[in-house]
Amino acid sequence: MTTAIYSHPDCQRHDMGDWHPESPARLQAIADQLIGSHISDLLEHREAPLVALADLERNHSRNAIAIVRDNVPAPGGTYPIDGDTSLNAWSWLAAQRAAGAAVAATDAVIDGEIDNAFCSVRPPGHHARPVEPMGFCLFNNVAVAAKHALDARGLARVAIVDFDVHHGNGTEEAFRDEPRALMVSFFQHPFYPYTEPEPITANLVNVPVPLATKGDAVRKIVTEQWLPALHAFKPEMIFISAGFDAHREDDIGGMGLVEADYAWMTERVMEVARLYGKGRIVSCLEGGYNLSALGRSVVAHLKALAEI
């Protein structure tokens, strides 16, 4: 397997304050764990390009884009978007790199340059709605990439797998009425963004779980709900919103997953991708705020993707 990791220094320059859990240290923690686990040299490292405006516009309104682009403050300043999301002087560039990584990885996988990819980028994306940023997220990286695969690259069906502790409300909104896309997820409920769970449909299998849910319950959801939906849908490519804040050591959530659970979920997704999509997977970092647990979980995820 050839697994690429996409990132860029600009993604570490987006900074919402020393108090903020979505910090530049997250990407450094991942890089350190990749080196410490001796797998960094087994991955193909690629630089995230800037996203094309046309790719952003497939998923986001012009006003949503302008909120980020036109409100970048001077160096040293901040611009608040909501109570926990703000811009600094580097945020527009970082957001372009994060979405650009997802699109570039999509092209490289479809073109057969690599088998799969992980985008070690920030800001994350799955709360970003088509009409506005929110919840640490500026643009919805996975949604932008999935729409690129459908509309620019001509794929007929894509699936999005979201294992973040939070509901990917922005992704659900982007694909609720899109028959070419299937979204499967679990999320702690009640919890941010405090959306009410919607009925499971043919293309949305988003499963709320209670506080303290552990890996055995999540594996049952994957086996009994995600996998039947994925096999019925037969996606030609799979995108992963890879949030690691459902880890038992992550205080921002209240679930009980461990590294082995992330590896197991990744392996199950890979089996589906091999059957229907030539193994094509692009994974993008979402949450994960305990730095040690984040780094270890990403290593487990990448070992599964790269089969090492």
Classify residue 77 by its DSSP letter: -
Asked if 273 contacts 237 with a C-beta cutoff of 8 angstroms, the reply is: yes
For residue 7 the two structure tokens come to 């990132």
Distance CA 22, CA 194 (A): 19
Asked if 143 contacts 103 with a C-beta cutoff of 8 angstroms, the reply is: no
Asked if 21 contacts 289 with a C-beta cutoff of 8 angstroms, the reply is: yes
Say which amino acid occupies 263: A
193: preceding bond cis by omega (within 30 degrees): yes
DSSP code string of 100-138: HHHHHHHHHHHTTS-SEEEE--SS--TT-BTTB-BTTBS
Classify residue 41 by its DSSP letter: G
Distance CA 218, CA 13 (A): 34
Distance CA 218, CA 223 (A): 9
The reply to whether 231 belongs to the active site is no
Length, in residues, of the chain: 308
Residues 60, 126, 127, 166: which is the catalytic one?
Answer: 127
Residues forming a β-bridge with 215? none
Asked if 244 contacts 297 with a C-beta cutoff of 8 angstroms, the reply is: yes
Distance CA 182, CA 205 (A): 8
Angle formed at CA 73 by CA 69 and CA 78, multiple of 5 degrees: 115
Alpha helices in the chain (DSSP H): 10-13, 25-36, 53-59, 62-69, 91-110, 141-147, 169-175, 215-221, 227-233, 259-277, 291-306
Active site residues: 127
